[in-house]
């Protein structure tokens, strides 16, 4: 039964959650989730995908324990806090973004909520927990969570929760495409056909681009074609610059999106981009890798090198529409769906390089 919280004494619900308790170790615990206050809603979360953020907490890159993470999430509005204005209603299916912008810092004031300074600290575990159990996190890998409704977007009830959860990574690709201002008929090369490579392939194609994928692994090259890429480049088979020219009327790419955080991928991008073209460094590198660029090449060719991390609310809304209206199909991004009770297995699978997204069902 749906419960409407009307204020008064603090109420809470019991929720199973995947708690990262130490490097490489996850426990499924029952935790308390507070009643939503003013400006909050309670979400019954149904699916959460394991992104590199969760993997970095799990592998100790961000050693903050105990923590309940998960930011690629979908679910159902269960309750709305008192005196909370939102167009969302109890029972609505929603997709959730990465976090809640503070709306007070410089970046939020400038409409760049993806760069919110307060949220950036929280996502890296740099703020202390205010819970009695000391658990940090954004609680996406929990059956219930209290969320700022501004960080939710509605999604059709006939879309599987596993697909709706991928609104957030698709939104990151949308943010990248919006920044690149991809135009109809342009040639876009995506370097890497992993999960986020797939996201960029799907979004670039939705912009009307001729999408070419550069990928070392033969199986992933075929996966890219199956997902809708128009052509692939095989770096193992000789000169990929010539390969690109042969399929692109003798020209290089208008846009190159690098979805692998490796130095050779960055260097490859420099060889594939056309004069006045754009390079998007979409992937982060851990550890960081230097990138050597001849400033004269940039000066003479007019190329632009930029980056993109996360998304704004607009990007999340656009991503949810792409999925809800079936303009794109995110199924190729999903490797496996694993129940919450097997959270340790889900994380173990998520860090395997050969796997696409692991989605935890709740």
Query: Are 213 and 268 in contact, with CB atoms under 8 Å apart?
Result: no
Q: What is the mean pLDDT of the chain?
A: 91
Report the percentage of the chain scoring pLDDT > 70: 93
Query: Are 202 and 330 in contact, with CB atoms under 8 Å apart?
Result: yes
What mean pLDDT is predicted for residues 132-149? 93
Q: What is the gyration radius of the CA atoms in the chain, in angstroms?
A: 21
**Burial category of 249 from C-beta neighbours within 10 Å (exposed 0-12, middle 13-18, buried 19 and up):** exposed
Model confidence band, residue 300 (pLDDT cutoffs 50, 70, 90): very high
pTM: 0.90
- Domains of the chain (ranges; CATH) run 12-166+330-361 (3.90.180.10), 171-307 (3.40.50.720)
Give the pLDDT confidence score for residue 291 in this predicted structure.
Answer: 84
Give the pLDDT confidence score for residue 286 in this predicted structure.
Answer: 77
Instruction: Name the residue among 134, 149, 150, 165 with its Cα closest to residue 31.
Output: 134
Model confidence band, residue 210 (pLDDT cutoffs 50, 70, 90): very high
**Burial category of 304 from C-beta neighbours within 10 Å (exposed 0-12, middle 13-18, buried 19 and up):** middle
Q: Tell me the pLDDT tens digit for each residue of 304-351.
A: 999 988 788 889 999 999 999 999 999 999 999 999 999 999 999 999
Give the tokens for residue 290.
């230097």
Peptide bond into 131 cis (omega under 30): no
Model confidence band, residue 88 (pLDDT cutoffs 50, 70, 90): very high
Render the burial of 77-104: b for 16+ CB within 10 Å, e for the rest: bbbbbeebebebeeebbbbbbbbbbeee
Instruction: Name the residue among 38, 102, 48, 50 with its Cα closest to residue 73.
Output: 48
Q: Tell me the pLDDT tens digit for each residue of 182-202.
A: 999 999 999 999 999 999 999
Q: CA neighbours within 13 Å on the CB side: how many for 173?
A: 29
What is the rounded CA–CA span in Å between residue 213 and residue 10? Answer: 53
């Amino acid at each position: 039964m749906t419960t409407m919280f009307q204020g008064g004494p603090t109420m809470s619900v019991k929720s199973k959650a995947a708690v990262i308790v130490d490097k490489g170790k996850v426990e499924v615990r029952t935790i308390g989730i507070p009643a939503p206050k003013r400006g909050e809603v309670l979400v019954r979360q149904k699916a959460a995908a394991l992104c590199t953020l969760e993997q970095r907490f799990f592998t100790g890159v961000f050693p903050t324990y105990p923590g309940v993470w998960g930011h690629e999430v979908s679910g159902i509005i269960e309750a709305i806090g008192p005196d909370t204005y939102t167009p969302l209603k109890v029972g609505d299916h929603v997709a959730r973004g990465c976090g809640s912008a503070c709306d007070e810092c410089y970046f939020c004031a400038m409409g760049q909520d993806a760069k919110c300074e307060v949220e950036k600290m929280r996502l890296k575990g740099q703020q202390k927990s205010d819970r009695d159990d000391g658990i940090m996190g954004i609680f996406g890998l929990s059956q219930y969570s209290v969320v700022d409704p501004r960080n939710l977007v509605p999604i059709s009830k006939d879309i599987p929760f596993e697909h709706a959860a991928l609104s957030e990574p698709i939104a990151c690709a949308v943010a990248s495409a919006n920044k690149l201002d991809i135009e109809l008929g342009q040639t876009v090369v995506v370097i890497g056909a992993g999960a986020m490579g797939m996201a960029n392939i799907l979004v670039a194609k939705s912009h009307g681009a001729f999408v070419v994928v550069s990928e070392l692994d033969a199986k992933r090259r075929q996966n890219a074609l199956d997902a809708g890429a128009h052509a692939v480049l095989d770096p193992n088979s000789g000169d990929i610059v010539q390969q690109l020219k042969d399929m692109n009327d003798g020209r290089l790419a208008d846009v190159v999106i690098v979805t692998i955080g490796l130095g050779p991928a960055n260097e490859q991008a420099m060889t594939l981009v056309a004069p006045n073209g754009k390079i998007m460094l979409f992937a982060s590198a851990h550890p960081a890798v230097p990138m050597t660029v001849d400033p004269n090449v940039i000066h003479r060719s007019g190329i632009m090198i930029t980056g993109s991390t996360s998304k704004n609310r607009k990007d999340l809304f656009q991503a949810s529409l792409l999925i809800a209206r079936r303009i794109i199909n995110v199924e190729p991004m999903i490797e496996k769906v694993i129940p919450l009770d097997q959270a340790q297995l889900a994380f173990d699978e998520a860090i395997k390089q050969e796997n696409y997204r692991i989605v935890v069902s709740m």
